[in-house]
A and B are shown apart, each in its own frame.
Chain A
């Protein structure tokens, strides 16, 4: 294994195949590896043909929501009455996720190629890649690749000499988690605060600059060239009927071998944690896992036989999210971990909706109080009450994102909260 994050199963290296090869970053190195062949094929195809292949492949959005990509594209008007835009969401900021960064820093041309193919499918004239501002080294690599691709005619007035033109601009954020939400991203791209807006209208009707827009995650777009090149049946040889293909798994927390692993969808979660990542260090036991990033519900050590598909993790009471399992072993404490998660969402709330702005802040304060031994038993009722008040009542799902881990931690690890209460009760008497 040349690259520490590559799984050694031969079948599962679509996205990560060239990770760890610095030469793959340059255009010449990319072309030597079969780069831009899928784009050359796509410019000869009709837009709806491309959408159809992606629809048949069953590819689902990799940014967290898991919406079918081909279907999303098909919502775009087929007869443009003005410009269409594609936004590549590279604002990776869900705690636990670090996959888009790896795709862009090792294989920037894979993303560019995916962007151009998607742009053709949705009849977009301009692609904006919205990159998280903190990713300085990644931005340098991506910028270099974009300039090279322009100079070689893979982006610009006539893509691959086809007569079809498309521009691409790299746009960088400035440190706002909520800019990763699709309407927040578009608000930010238009020169505003990254405040999400109500849907409908959906982006395909009225998106950035008032024009029909599709927002796709980096990993989704990076999956597209392989599908266009090899067909939908090829992609469906991996994964399940409802969750085909492979997925980057960002594994972190208390693990012997944390990192990015590209895996076929559908392995048991326990296999990823133990066999692929070596389990927690020093033979310690798993206590809890946030399987899809910090905004998904906790699973306990007894629930790790669930299957890692969108539907499998949903049945288990959690979500695939960004496929970023965060593992807590027996030495980790649930309350401080939950407080740290809540603190993040409180910091990143954009402040438009009262429930979210106030709720996330109060949750953090109460959790801190409990953590410091000053909690009272009724605090748990208040936390449950806040969970109810924050669910489904806001413009975007940031508030819901803190409820999933919080409610599950209260349900499954109530004893840890109560132990801290008892500590405070015994101090008081």
Chain B
């Protein structure tokens, strides 16, 4: 993982993954400092690095704590309140720790027409949780998602970084069973 990223893509790493290292410092490590420098080199203002750095925090920790936001505010010379105002605007930033498997079921119009509400119900029932909550063992968070941009493959379900397409209620058990295998990274 410590392979150096090209600056052109350093701020664009998929970040909604299972946590890599919950206790790692954001910018105390060599990797963190390299990422910060690479990202800053791509924009004419420091503020523009905010979204890439929030993404980096989530990629590393699995979620973004107020401590992370304070650290980011400091390196970008912004106020913590400003960073929070931006982080809270975007749905993909987890403001609380999420389950190891973040299951997002699209129920928007095309999926809705193809039975998405039943797929969502099935995921909730089989994981034994309610929408937006995480199971007690920390394995699953199930969310109703807005359009995932896979309307021709309804119902679309995103689990961490993987897309599952043409999902029907009958396929839910199989999908959940496959998640118990080796962690995807």
In the complex, the chain B residue whose C-beta lies closest to that of A192 is: B86
> Is the beta-carbon distance between A259 and B152 smaller than 8 angstroms?
yes
The 8 Å CB contact of B149, one of A132, A253, A326, A348, is A132
**Cβ of B17 to closest chain A Cβ, rounded Å:** 8
Q: Which residues of chain A (238-268) have a CB below 8 Å from chain B?
A: 250-254, 258-260
B106-114, B124-132, B133-141, B172-180 - interface stretch? B106-114
Q: Which residues of B contact A136 (CB under 8 A)?
A: 14, 16, 161-163
Chain A residues with Cβ below 8 Å from B93 are: 174-175
Chief secondary structure at chain B's binding surface: loop
Contact B151 A170 (CB under 8 A): no
Known interface pairs A190-B47, A326-B109; A251-B152 also in contact (CB < 8 Å):
yes
Give the distance in Å from the alpha carbon of A93 to the alpha carbon of B91 in the complex: 13
B123 to chain A, nearest CB (A): 18
CB interface residues, A 22-63, toward B, < 8 Å = none
CA distance A259 to B166 in the complex (A): 12
Interface membership of chain A positions 336-376, coded 1 if the CB is closer than 8 angstroms to chain B and 0 otherwise: 11001100100110100000000000000000000000000
Contact pattern, B 141-170, Cβ under 8 Å of A = 1, otherwise 0: 000001111111110001001110000000
Contact A146 B92 (CB under 8 A): no
Do A172 and B48 have beta carbons less than 8 Å apart? Answer: no
Chain A residue total in the interface (Cβ 8 A): 65
Choose one: A171, A209, A340; the contact of B12 (CB below 8 Å): A171
Cβ of A253 and Cβ of B109 under 8 Å apart?
A: yes
Given contacts A147-B6, A252-B154, contact A341 B109 (CB under 8 A): yes
Does residue A398 face the partner (Cβ distance < 8 Å to B)?
no
> Do B152 and A190 touch across chains, with their CB atoms under 8 A apart?
no
Which of these binds chain A: B19-27, B28-36, B49-57?
B49-57
Please indicate the chain B residues that have their CB under 8 angstroms from the CB of A253 in the complex.
109-110, 113-114, 151
| Mask of B80-100 contacts with A, CB within 8 angstroms, 1/0 | 000001100111110000000
Enumerate A127-153 residues with CB–CB distance to B below 8 Å: 131-137, 139-140, 143, 146-147, 150
- Taken residue by residue from 96 to 130, chain A's Cβ proximity to chain B (1 for < 8 Å, 0 otherwise) reads as 11100100000000000000000000000000000
Contact (Cβ within 8 A) A326 B151: yes
Give A82 to B54 CA distance when docked, in angstroms.
Answer: 29
Chain A residues with CB below 8 A from B162, complex form? 136-137
The reply to whether the CB of B62 lies closer than 8 angstroms to some CB of chain A is no
A-B contacts, 15 listed (Cβ < 8 Å): A83-B44, A95-B151, A98-B152, A134-B92, A134-B158, A139-B14, A147-B8, A168-B8, A173-B51, A174-B90, A175-B92, A193-B89, A194-B90, A251-B152, A326-B151
Using a CB–CB cutoff of 8 Å, the interface residues on chain B facing chain A are 6-9, 11-16, 42-45, 47-52, 54-55, 76, 85-86, 89-93, 107-110, 112-114, 146-154, 158, 161-163
